[in-house]
Amino acid sequence: MKMFYQQFLAFFLMITITLLTLGMTFLGLSRSMFYQNTWDRLQDYAYAVKTQTMDIRQGKDSKVVVDKKKLVITEQMLSGRHIKISIYTEPDKLIFPDSKKATTKISSQCWSKLKRGQSVRAKTSDSKGFFKDSNRQLTNIYEPYLDIKGNLMAVVSVGTVMNGIEENLGEIKQNLLYAFFTAVVLGTIVSFVLTHYFTNRITKIQRATRQVANGDFDVKIDTYHHDELDDLAEDFNLMTQSLKESQVEIERQEQRRHELMANAAHEMRTPLTTINGLLEGMAYGALPEEDQEQCINLMRKETTRLIRLVNENLDYEKSRSGELVLAKTNFDATSAIKDVVSQLHKMAEDVGDRFIVKLPPLLNVYADKDRFIQIITNIGKNAVQFTRDGTITISGEKHGNDTMISIADTGIGMTDEEISNMWERYYKADPSRKVAKYGESGIGMAIVHQLLQLHHAKVCVDSAPGKGTTFTLLFPGEAIASDGSDQPQDDGSVVVDRCD
């Protein structure tokens, strides 16, 4: 059964049961109220009969004396209200209206209560025709008449027909029935409207879910924050937003994977093609004898380039997986940086760049020396690669226990997007500016990123297109660095992209 019919039936049953319960309760209260009012009125009549028409004649045998003339007048006055008055001296013996055996006998149980001075209410049948129409139901009040000693001398019975009560109750039943059917019709309409309202909202969520299942993450459900369905819609919107972001990230990573594979193949194909061409030339004797030594040196360089590319990728993967273990020591960063500058001097000179070193005579740093040199070398090569006829300034100083190293160039600079992406493997801010003979493969900055994370170091980048780039590295002191593990932080929480 569909939810629409389930909810419609639930609303309809709830309204119907509520109306029936209220109707039956109201009818029961009305019946009780009618009878209570009638018995109270009859009890007042019985009290008036006792006090105004009855007396006890004292003597050897005390007996009740009744002023029948007043009783007849009283009964005549009440005849329009269908009131019947009787006076009993025994359960089956009357002294009014006539001294005869009663046609309606008082039960022994009721008589016992009357002897204890209790009033009794009862329903009887007018089978003997006290009223013009026989076989009508009567309601009676039996009121005891006691002497000063508390002995039961007589019982005053005042009764009336129940037809008037039942007629009134019948009218109430009829009105309730009309009201019930009217309320059922209105309840059906209300149930339909409410059911349609809720199921329509659920249907919207269902349609949106199907759109998401078909790959449409732009779907959004309007919410008004009124109830749980709005909360569900809000959670649905958050889910689709998260799925959309995940889809964008998946597509970006897939694109990066394709680029990585293409770049890796390109980086390896170039030296392999060179080596293969030279070997074919030597095999077919196409190379002059005097050029063979030069060809062998060229093949040796290309082979070294391939080995370096493979080693860089291995270092990157080891650092990501935590297999790379650092051997941290305290050493002089000034001496290590000067060695790096000496190695990069020829590379810088070829493109018109020059290094400026502004370091104290002794600058202590706590790091893995080989990996520290690798970090400085990669950033230095990156600076030379994107700087022409400019300067590359390396400075450093102590900040408490920490060591700060700054590498600033006057090169082409980077945009915010390029700064965010430069830590990706094989990413190149400007592929057209690649200096192929130095083997810049696009993996150097990704290795720097991983190695800095392993050192729990911080880095900030200040750059703008056409204004150069400044890398500021902050290596923690021995006490702080020793508190962390040598596992890289893949979330990048250690590395900061922009300088404040």
User: For position 341, what pLDDT does the model report?
Assistant: 92
Single residue among 129, 151, 168 that ends a domain in this structure: 168
Measured from the Cβ of residue 223, the count of other Cβ atoms closer than 10 Å reads 15
Q: Distance between CA atoms of 172 and 165, rounded to whole angstroms?
A: 11
Please tell me the number of Cα atoms within 13 Å of 450 on its side-chain side. Answer: 24
At 103, is the pLDDT very low, low, confident or very high (cuts 50, 70, 90)?
A: confident
- Same domain for 82 and 142, yes or no, is yes
Average pLDDT over residues 436-454: 71
- Same domain for 351 and 472, yes or no, is yes
Q: For residue 142, is pLDDT > 80?
A: yes
Average pLDDT over residues 64-89: 84
Q: For residue 409, is pLDDT > 80?
A: yes
Average pLDDT over residues 68-92: 84
User: For position 134, what pLDDT does the model report?
Assistant: 47
- Same domain for 10 and 107, yes or no, is yes
Please tell me the number of Cα atoms within 13 Å of 271 on its side-chain side. Answer: 23
Evaluate whether residue 343 is within a structural domain. Answer: yes
Evaluate whether residue 213 is within a structural domain. Answer: no
pTM over cut 0.85? no
Evaluate whether residue 341 is within a structural domain. Answer: yes
Average pLDDT over residues 232-255: 86
Helix segments in 143-283, DSSP class H: 163-213, 228-283
Q: For residue 249, is pLDDT > 80?
A: yes
**pLDDT above 90: percentage of residues in the chain:** 20
User: For position 440, what pLDDT does the model report?
Assistant: 52
CATH number, domain with residue 474: 3.30.565.10
User: For position 54, what pLDDT does the model report?
Assistant: 87
Evaluate whether residue 78 is within a structural domain. Answer: yes
DSSP 223: -
Evaluate whether residue 177 is within a structural domain. Answer: no
At 284, is the pLDDT very low, low, confident or very high (cuts 50, 70, 90)?
A: confident
Helix, strand, or coil here: 208?
helix
Average pLDDT over residues 234-254: 86
Average pLDDT, the chain: 81
CATH number, domain with residue 130: 3.30.450.20
User: For position 436, what pLDDT does the model report?
Assistant: 43
The answer to whether 155 and 10 have CB atoms below 8 angstroms apart is no
User: For position 438, what pLDDT does the model report?
Assistant: 40
Task: Identify which has the larger pLDDT, 412 or 446.
Answer: 412
Q: For residue 128, is pLDDT > 90?
A: no
DSSP 135: S
The lowest-confidence range among 19-33, 300-314, 401-415 is: 300-314
Average pLDDT over residues 250-254: 82
- Same domain for 360 and 290, yes or no, is no
At 482, is the pLDDT very low, low, confident or very high (cuts 50, 70, 90)?
A: low
Evaluate whether residue 196 is within a structural domain. Answer: no
User: For position 483, what pLDDT does the model report?
Assistant: 54
- Same domain for 367 and 405, yes or no, is yes
Reported as a single tens digit per residue, the pLDDT across 179-238 is: 888 888 887 888 788 777 777 878 888 888 888 888 888 888 888 777 777 888 888 888
Q: Distance between CA atoms of 461 and 471, rounded to whole angstroms?
A: 5
User: For position 144, what pLDDT does the model report?
Assistant: 93
Q: Which domain holds residue 285?
A: 228-301
At 164, is the pLDDT very low, low, confident or very high (cuts 50, 70, 90)?
A: low
Q: Please give the C-alpha separations between residue 309 and each of 229, 271, 450, in angstroms, as whole numbers.
A: 57, 11, 16
Task: Identify which has the larger pLDDT, 136 or 497.
Answer: 136
- Same domain for 431 and 361, yes or no, is yes
User: For position 434, what pLDDT does the model report?
Assistant: 45
Q: Could you tell me which residues are beta bridge partners of residue 479?
A: none
At 2, is the pLDDT very low, low, confident or very high (cuts 50, 70, 90)?
A: low
User: For position 493, what pLDDT does the model report?
Assistant: 38
- Same domain for 291 and 350, yes or no, is no
Number of domains present in the structure of the chain: 3
Evaluate whether residue 312 is within a structural domain. Answer: no
Helix, strand, or coil here: 325?
coil
Single residue among 150, 168, 186 that ends a domain in this structure: 168
Q: Distance between CA atoms of 143 and 350, rounded to whole angstroms?
A: 132
- Same domain for 398 and 261, yes or no, is no
Task: Identify which has the larger pLDDT, 203 or 429.
Answer: 203
Single residue among 168, 187, 220 that ends a domain in this structure: 168
Evaluate whether residue 216 is within a structural domain. Answer: no
Q: For residue 133, is pLDDT > 60?
A: no
User: For position 499, what pLDDT does the model report?
Assistant: 56
- Same domain for 73 and 8, yes or no, is yes
Q: For residue 491, is pLDDT > 50?
A: no
Reported as a single tens digit per residue, the pLDDT across 345-402 is: 988 999 999 999 999 999 999 999 988 998 999 899 989 989 999 999 999 999 889 9
- Token look-up 């083997």 returns 439
Reported as a single tens digit per residue, the pLDDT across 302-351 is: 888 788 777 777 776 766 666 677 889 999 999 999 999 998 998 899 99
- Same domain for 253 and 396, yes or no, is no
- Same domain for 147 and 40, yes or no, is yes
- Same domain for 29 and 129, yes or no, is yes
User: For position 169, what pLDDT does the model report?
Assistant: 75
Q: For residue 466, is pLDDT > 60?
A: yes
DSSP 106: P
